[in-house]
Structure 1
């Protein structure tokens, strides 16, 4: 009886050892996830921001996508090893904390509140709150000219409220469900101006159907330091910072800005220095 028990125990140990060997992960994986035996990296982007992060029938496009792709290549991943995941603004910290993505590049402004929850590489773009108006509208030349004008932003956004509280108290706030709806309102003259980050405005205005119809005010009402979000303590931070510096130095950064945002007359600030956050 005792002999049979020892034999059964030995068999169980052997089975567990074989199972562990079969399920072992690829030790060569450099911070990314493994899928189907192949090396993968999962990156969060916006799917609905033209010029920045957009899912199209042809794939994924935009400045954030170009930055993320460049960084991934520097980390050792080819384009077909990237898995893109939609990262809505309200979900970004949770996605990073849960490990749903390896990093996020999605118009993600670095703020003290967010830095308590996640780490950031960068910044890689200095954006500013601005307004978008019709190309033939010469009545809005400064933020103060927004007084008595119909000013639109998306429902839940603080952009329009910031303008009303600090710069144009008589502005008539209009909330639409999407930036596209605001843009149509400006085009149809139901709205005088649309406000949010200038990079986002430029991305929408750069769409082929809108070329030449809108212009940016160039008011630079706030500083928005876009960074690449990472899980707290991620060992990818220094590697990503090195990749961002390389992207600037070899000209790829400016090329990506011009290709994605230039058609709207976007005048970008110089590439920010790593770790330099402008308040």
Structure 2
């Protein structure tokens, strides 16, 4: 979080003393609702978070990010969205006070024990599941076990194939890697691979981009808890994010956003408040 200007020195000595006594916890926290709020988002995931032709971003994560920012007290003019790649998310939070850093990350960011050693997580704001995408006319796959002997595509560096082959012992014919899941779906459309498997929201996003070409199997076999990345020392900010997410489900904003972005895909979404990770 960046403060506008150099600070208001005329605010009064009592305010200064109070801030010092509190260790500046309020002004250091995103919960203060002051200054510029920089939020890291993805730029290459249709219906989740994708760059637009006008230089902006759109998708479910983008709308969630704006809802949380507003709940924290930031106006639209105070929010800057910054594109972050998957491998950049932790470092962007660690660099929070630098020009390249961000204050929050809302970027299909799965909560894992390893990541929690470096950053904190609000939420999850949604629990996605690994699922399978096949060609629209392929009725040979009903669940993950039907991938036996199939050619599978995954994004380079992804762990999705391992969850099928190593964790479940399913012998696929081949695992092909593409630079992105967009590349995988292009190969699926061309008939070069038999299936693509990753988070269901990601698969549904690519379905929405190419109506009629693909079928989502709707046979989930993992839980992917999408969290809001927060600086590890900002507990107040993390708790404020959890309050915002709870409100988002209670006022049905979450349900409306899920319908807006994924309703036409046939994805079975969950509209109840996820069990939070906790900010400790």
What interval of TM-score do these two structures reach, taking the shorter chain for normalisation?
0.7 to 0.9
Q: Give the alignment partner of residue 197 of structure 1, picking from 179, 196, 199.
A: 199
1:5 maps to none
- 1:90 is displaced (CA, Å) by 1.0
- Residues 155 and 141 (structure 1 numbering): CA distance in 2 closer, same or farther, change over 3 Å? same
Summarize deviations over 1:41-94 as a string: whole Å, max 9, x none. 100100111111111014210111010000001111122321111121111111
Q: Distance in 2 between matches of 1:144 and 1:103?
A: 38
- Please identify the structure whose Cα radius of gyration is greater: 1
1:212 maps to 212
Where structure 1 has 5 or more consecutive residues not aligned to the other structure, the ranges are 1-22, 33-37
1:82 maps to 79
**TM-score normalised per structure 2:** 0.83
Q: Aligned to 2:157, what secondary structure does the other structure show? A: coil
Q: Aligned to 1:101, what secondary structure does the other structure show? A: coil
Q: Give the alignment partner of residue 42 of structure 1, picking from 9, 30, 38.
A: 38
Summarize deviations over 1:133-156 as a string: whole Å, max 9, x none. 112110111211111111101111
1:92 maps to 89
Where structure 2 has 5 or more consecutive residues not aligned to the other structure, the ranges are 12-25
Q: Distance in 2 between matches of 1:162 and 1:108?
A: 18
Q: Distance in 2 between matches of 1:224 and 1:180?
A: 20
- 1:129 is displaced (CA, Å) by 0.9
Q: Distance in 1 between matches of 2:274 and 2:223?
A: 14
Q: Distance in 1 between matches of 2:190 and 2:39?
A: 37
Q: Distance in 2 between matches of 1:40 and 1:184?
A: 39
Q: Distance in 1 between matches of 2:6 and 2:144?
A: 60
**TM-score normalised per structure 1:** 0.83
Q: Distance in 1 between matches of 2:275 and 2:143?
A: 31
- 1:167 is displaced (CA, Å) by 4.5
Summarize deviations over 1:98-122 as a string: whole Å, max 9, x none. 2111110000111111111111100
Q: Distance in 1 between matches of 2:156 and 2:6?
A: 48
Contact kept? 1:126, 1:271, Cα under 8 Å: no
The alignment's C-alpha RMSD in Å is: 2.0
Count of equivalent residues: 248
